[in-house]
Amino acid sequence: MYKPKLEKDIRCPLEYGLEIFGGKWKSRIICVLAEKKSLRYSVLRREMSNITDAVLAATLKELLADGIIIRHQFNEIPPT
């Protein structure tokens, strides 16, 4: 049986990078998290002053799925 040498959906590394880091908010979120290291959702929301909750939540989910950020859940309020 014939096996193609290359995958059908070969993508340029730049295209792949733009898919992960592209968009209006992803790069801004990554920069804020890089500077502050670890933030609670509400603090991140305040740092990103003009982003809606829905867009922030969706963007964070995409970054989590891509393995760019890690989420830690604390079962106490407030975490110590």
Amino acid at 3: K
What are the tens digits of pLDDT across the range 25-58?
Answer: 998 999 999 998 888 888 999 988 889 999 999 9
pLDDT band at 11 (very low <50, low <70, confident <90, very high): low
Q: What's the predicted TM-score (pTM) here?
A: 0.73
DSSP, res 61: H
Cα–Cα–Cα angle for 44, 47, 51, rounded to 5 degrees: 85
Residue 49: which residues within 8 A CB-CB, separation 6 or more? none
What is the rounded CA–CA span in Å between residue 45 and residue 68?
Answer: 18
What are the tens digits of pLDDT across the range 52-75?
Answer: 999 999 999 999 998 889 998 877
Q: CA 27 → CA 4, 33, 34, 73, 74, distances in Å?
A: 36, 10, 10, 23, 26
